[in-house]
Amino acid sequence: MPRDSLQYFERIDEATDYVGRHITSRPLVAIILGTGLGKLATRIKPEVTLPYREIPHFPQSTALSHQGQLVVGLLEGVPVIAMQGRFHLYEGYTLLDAVLPVYVMQKLGAEILVVSNASGGVNPRFTSGDVMVINSHINLMFQQHAKLRNPTHTAEMDQQPGTLFYDRAFIDLALETGRKQDFYIQEGCYVSLTGPNYETRSEYRMVREIGGDVVGMSTVPEVLTAHSLNMRVLALSAVTNVAKPDALSETSAEEVVDIARLAEPKLTAIVSDLLKTL
Ligand code: HPA
């Protein structure tokens, strides 16, 4: 077993115990709210809100518009646990730091992970403000999950079999919400890079050529972790800019946040509809 697995699981346990002491219900759904998408958490009837800095071993949010708190409560009558802000590799966190909250939320009871992000579109049919439901990914982060084996569990966590990381029934539900509410939801492939920069024109071209529809700097590590823990996953991407490699314009973090906010009501509608089916 790698040297630091034991320590890592102790950290998960301590963080889980801390959050567990502050809540009475068992959250069924974990929600990670990415750039510009934190507002959904304000719709939760909160039981408790815990700043990350108070939770043992939780990283701190440093990215723009990532509030850095955990909101636990009821959304559409369903017990949820939501992260207002996530952790990225470009903030200097390791892969294990970045996914620690996923382990914690699963240990607290979550069986479903809803994950959201802001992304750059490379599919020319996309426009900024679109929401894309992720049905596949290409992982270009080139970082391995350390082999983890929890000494207190019999389940081996060092294998991550599977290719269907994104729950088909959830994807169909999201598309159905779009049809009902009269907005078009895109479906496609998310390519993950570590950043910290938005892509060069050559990188945007590459992302398109290898089969990506959007590109971003998060989400895949969380999805892989959730899948390894047998959670069902719905992943939604707010397309904040569409790259035109031949006439590239500068993308700013502020613009990404502003456009993600515009896409937020669509995201809220999809998550609400999903929760109503549970
Ligand atoms: N690239 C990577 N991440 C992003 C982008 C982008 O163009 N837009 C929003 N997040």
Pair of tokens at residue 66 = 């990532």
Q: Are 218 and 117 in contact (CB under 8 A)?
A: yes
Of the pLDDT bands very low, low, confident and very high (cuts 50, 70, 90), residue 39 is: confident
Q: What is the pLDDT of residue 151?
A: 45
Q: What is the pLDDT of residue 146?
A: 54
- Residue 4 pLDDT > 50: yes
Q: Are 170 and 111 in contact (CB under 8 A)?
A: no
Pair of tokens at residue 34 = 């990415």
Among 30-44, 53-67, 111-125, 172-186, the range scoring the smallest mean pLDDT is 53-67
Q: What is the pLDDT of residue 153?
A: 44
Q: Does residue 120 line the site of ligand 1, with CB under 6 A?
A: yes
How many angstroms separate the alpha carbon of residue 3 from the centre of ligand 1? 35
Q: Whose CA is nearest to atom 4 of ligand 1?
A: 119
Mean pLDDT of the region 259-271: 90
Q: Whose CA is nearest to atom 3 of ligand 1?
A: 216
Q: Whose CA is nearest to atom 6 of ligand 1?
A: 120
Of the pLDDT bands very low, low, confident and very high (cuts 50, 70, 90), residue 155 is: very low
Q: Are 121 and 213 in contact (CB under 8 A)?
A: yes
Q: What is the pLDDT of residue 77?
A: 95
Mean pLDDT of the region 45-51: 94
CA-CA distance, 114 to 166, in Å (whole number)?
10
Q: Whose CA is nearest to atom 9 of ligand 1?
A: 119
Render pLDDT for 93-148 as a digit per residue (tens, 0 to 9): 888 889 999 999 999 999 999 999 999 999 999 999 999 999 999 999 987 665 55
CA distances from 150 to 57, 105, 124, 157, 221 (A): 17, 16, 44, 7, 18
Q: Which helix (H) or strand (E) covers residue 30, if one does? A: strand 29-33
Mean pLDDT of the region 175-200: 94
How many angstroms separate the alpha carbon of residue 88 from the centre of ligand 1? 13
CA-CA distance, 218 to 63, in Å (whole number)?
12
Opening angle at CA 194, ends 137 and 215, nearest 5:
45
Mean pLDDT of the region 75-99: 92
CA distances from 164 to 41, 117, 138, 175, 223 (A): 28, 19, 13, 18, 11
The pTM (predicted TM-score) of the whole model is: 0.92
Q: What is the pLDDT of residue 52?
A: 95
Q: Whose CA is nearest to atom 10 of ligand 1?
A: 119
Q: Are 82 and 41 in contact (CB under 8 A)?
A: yes
- Catalogue all structural domains in the chain, each as residue range(s) with its CATH number: 3-276 (3.40.50.1580)
**Measured in whole angstroms, how far is the alpha carbon of residue 190 from the centre of its chain?**
12
CA-CA distance, 68 to 88, in Å (whole number)?
13
> Strand locations in 122-255, DSSP E?
131-139, 185-192, 214-216, 232-242
Residue-wise over 45-75: b if at least 16 C-beta within 10 A, else e? eebebbebeebebbbebebebbebbbbbbbb
CA-CA distance, 185 to 177, in Å (whole number)?
9
Q: Does residue 257 line the site of ligand 1, with CB under 6 A?
A: no
Q: How far apart are the first and last CA of the chain?
A: 38
Q: Does residue 118 line the site of ligand 1, with CB under 6 A?
A: yes
How many angstroms separate the alpha carbon of residue 215 from the centre of ligand 1? 6
Of the pLDDT bands very low, low, confident and very high (cuts 50, 70, 90), residue 163 is: confident
DSSP string, 77-140: TEEEEEEES---GGGT--HHHHHHHHHHHHHTT--EEEEEEEEEE-STT--TT-EEEEEEEEE-
Mean pLDDT of the region 258-274: 90
Of the pLDDT bands very low, low, confident and very high (cuts 50, 70, 90), residue 161 is: low
Q: What is the pLDDT of residue 139?
A: 92
Q: What is the pLDDT of residue 51?
A: 95
253-276 helix and 168-181 helix, angle to the nearest 10 degrees: 100
Q: What is the pLDDT of residue 147?
A: 52
